[in-house]
Chain A
């Protein structure tokens, strides 16, 4: 839920707005979270081999954002989440190459940020490596254009930081450079974690994710997500559900994808996973497959993250808002 602003904050925000343009800006003291609320924007998959229509992608994303935030317009949704002075990092999940967040959707988000007043050099689209980004059709650029886009490569903090059971060096783009983060994943089955849409995406910002695959990644996924570098900077979670994967993940498998036709947005990163768990299990049942839990891959990290207070982890408690 949005919290009430103090008079001082309101005066400060109006001052910032007068300089930067937007009518409202979000408070800088912490993320706004609408717990359990998942906004959905419909977006049918394009014909095979064709890219998404950019206008349709933008419209679907805007609908999802409005539904997720409860704000009356995309612009006010952005104002509720970001400040024009933010440096915004957008973490993609491109491991599955052909089943990565689509360029057209990510650039739609970049467009909204740019129109809101965030300058190009302070919008950073990133993944673990340049190679993964290229394979997902992104162009690597560290300057110029509407946003920066690169792999974090070996640019990690020099000392490990502990959070629960994990001890990891975080990518400096997360720990140091960015003031606001967006998780941008895809809706898919995951061989180890059970499912991957939101929380698991943050494994890509630590140097040693391979050490945390035991016990279906629990509690490690939740431990990464509750680190202050993530928890305190995360403003928005988006999942590309235009095409989703119900079995055989995390890699792309053409025979087990289905046209879900949705763009998913939420300020509750746990709710996105709880929602994705439900829709993936529903699709698995339709194909005569056991649920991910019955298949021996319970996504227990979702309940752990909920227990940590990061969001709502009960799939039955998720409020879907279809705009």
Chain B
């Protein structure tokens, strides 16, 4: 028997390890599960969903994401984590965490949120789209009974963060929109203890669901996966338009947000597409939204493409700057100057990063120490 672990095994082991390190183990689990209990398929705790409406003949319509799945009795939505049972829609992942880690906030990536801070990061199984290039497909593309999870209710996550001096919680890895009630309740629990919440999402959410949770968040990161409907149709199984609308809703809410664009060779990396995207961001969201252009590595169902060439990333970085974006960044290129924050006013380097590490932070009260220009973000 080979001792080599698959990536999925590693995710599972990491989850179990993190939880074991942070929590006392409890034996067994009944309904409701005990905190820390391993959740198996037969024991998924069902909790009525918060965003859906009932339809005739025991059917329901989900109101979380733009898919608006109409789900018959005994069936699940496209996310695979919500089930219609006799005309009532349930989330099967409230408190059912399949991955829990302590990450630097730069890993999300947030470059304008408490630089160097740790975030207690958590995820459940499931996603509402199917990106052929998903880095975390072993959890995002599976149903909750197919991955190893532990019962970590919102209060527990908040308490663990507080007890360990971790200032941030982050819903991430898979797609937080599909476990939106868990995100909401964790943010509320964290708020009570002075721990702030962030979300890393694809932005594929309905307006009301977004508006209900945004006020509870310190920051949200949105993947803008491309700037063409073709890409969203062919490689994401989603749509671009609702994501752009979500970005406008987030902007209007006043919640801090950053954007990530994963550049994939030949798919969304043309100069014109980057230019169009940059112009739209500036016109609709403002020039000071950080936009991270990150490097693609082949994975999941897109293993036939090479990693994004560095010059292509650098071209995108230059195009974004030329179009007037104040804070374009490069990602997955450790050591590149594009990882660091410079003052758009005087050019002074403000935050020096290598990978997820902050080597230097010269910001003074959220301002450039040289020209005193305010740098937008969540700095304290």
Interface residues of A in 243-257 (CB under 8 A from B): 248-251, 253
24 residue pairs of the A-B complex, CB under 8 angstroms, read A96-B74, A153-B41, A154-B41, A154-B148, A160-B137, A160-B301, A162-B301, A167-B132, A191-B72, A207-B146, A208-B130, A208-B141, A208-B142, A208-B143, A210-B78, A211-B80, A211-B130, A211-B141, A213-B69, A248-B72, A248-B73, A249-B72, A250-B72, A250-B75
Known: A151-B41, A211-B78, A250-B72. 11 other contacts (CB 8 A): A96-B74, A129-B42, A130-B41, A153-B40, A154-B147, A160-B300, A210-B76, A210-B78, A211-B237, A249-B72, A251-B75
A129 adjacent to B6 (CB under 8 Å)? no
B301 adjacent to A156 (CB under 8 Å)? no
Residues of B within 8 Å of A253, CB to CB, are 73
Whether, in the assembled complex, B8 has its beta carbon less than 8 Å from a beta carbon of chain A, the answer is yes
Chain B proximity of A196: nearest CB distance (Å): 11
B80 adjacent to A210 (CB under 8 Å)? yes
B74 adjacent to A251 (CB under 8 Å)? yes
Considering the complex, give the chain B residue whose CB is closest to the CB of A190. Answer: B72
Residues of B within 8 Å of A130, CB to CB, are 41-42
Whether, in the assembled complex, A95 has its beta carbon less than 8 Å from a beta carbon of chain B, the answer is yes
Encode A64-100 as 1/0 by CB contact (under 8 A) with B.
0000000000000000000000000000000111000
A8 to B8, CA, bound (A): 45
Q: Given known contacts A130-B42, A160-B300, is B73 in contact with A154 (CB within 8 Å)?
A: no
Residues of B within 8 Å of A316, CB to CB, are none
Interface residues of B in 32-80 (CB under 8 A from A): 40-42, 57-59, 69, 72-80
Residues of B within 8 Å of A154, CB to CB, are 41, 142, 145-148
Encode A192-215 as 1/0 by CB contact (under 8 A) with B.
100000000000000110110110
A151 to B77, CA, bound (A): 21
Whether, in the assembled complex, A227 has its beta carbon less than 8 Å from a beta carbon of chain B, the answer is no
Whether, in the assembled complex, A158 has its beta carbon less than 8 Å from a beta carbon of chain B, the answer is yes
Q: Given known contacts A95-B74, A131-B41, A192-B75, is B143 in contact with A210 (CB within 8 Å)?
A: yes
Residues of B within 8 Å of A129, CB to CB, are 41-42, 145
Q: How many residues of B contact A (CB 8 A)?
A: 31
Residues of A within 8 Å of B142, CB to CB, are 154, 207-208
B77 adjacent to A250 (CB under 8 Å)? no
Residues of A within 8 Å of B301, CB to CB, are 160, 162, 167
Chain B residues touching A, majority SS: loop
Number of A-B contacts (CB under 8 A): 73
Chain A proximity of B304: nearest CB distance (Å): 11
Considering the complex, give the chain A residue whose CB is closest to the CB of B237. Answer: A211
A210 to B82, CA, bound (A): 10
Residues of A within 8 Å of B72, CB to CB, are 191-192, 248-251
Report which A residues bind B (CB closer than 8 A): 95-97, 129-131, 151, 153-154, 156, 158, 160, 162, 167, 191-192, 207-208, 210-211, 213-214, 248-251, 253
A210 to B77, CA, bound (A): 6
Residues of B within 8 Å of A191, CB to CB, are 59, 72, 75
Chain B proximity of A62: nearest CB distance (Å): 32
A151 to B57, CA, bound (A): 29
Residues of A within 8 Å of B300, CB to CB, are 160, 167
Interface centre among A95, A207, A253 (most CB of B within 10 A): A207
A160 to B142, CA, bound (A): 12
Considering the complex, give the chain A residue whose CB is closest to the CB of B40. Answer: A153
What 8 A-B pairs have minimum CB-CB distances, sorted nearest first?
A191-B72, A251-B74, A251-B73, A210-B80, A154-B146, A167-B301, A131-B42, A158-B6
Residues of A within 8 Å of B77, CB to CB, are 210
Interface centre among A97, A131, A210, A251 (most CB of B within 10 A): A210
Chain A proximity of B336: nearest CB distance (Å): 31
